[in-house]
Amino acid sequence: MSDKIHGHEVMEMMISSGKLYTRDSLRADIIGRFGEAARFYTCSAEGMTADELISFLEARGKFLDAEGGFKTDREKMCDD
């Protein structure tokens, strides 16, 4: 798998899983799917680790709070 992953791929993973996440469970799923060495990019940032991507997405309001965690939705993705 490519070492450079767009943030939308992580959001797609979250959507398709149907799960609620915590920061720790999202990090574990990201690393499980994409690997520890993967780096992530978006339209405005690049070279992020899994933890940095999670903080980036959270800061931009890409997560929806739910009882017991958070999730995301396709409507939260930008059109790039």
pLDDT in tens, 19-77: 999 999 999 999 999 999 999 999 899 999 999 999 999 999 999 999 999 999 999 98
Cβ–Cβ under 8 Å, residues 16 and 66? no
Backbone angles phi, psi at 20, to 5 degrees: -95, 145
Bigger pLDDT: 28 vs 80 = 28
- Of the candidates 20, 44, 75, 67, which has an alpha carbon nearest to the alpha carbon of residue 7? 44
Collapse the DSSP code of 54 into the 3-class scheme (helix H, G, I; strand E, B; otherwise coil) and give the result. Answer: helix
Assign domain 4-74 one CATH number from 1.10.10, 3.40.50, 1.10.3470, 2.60.120.
1.10.10
Domain ranges of the chain: 4-74
Q: Model's pTM, two decimal places?
A: 0.91
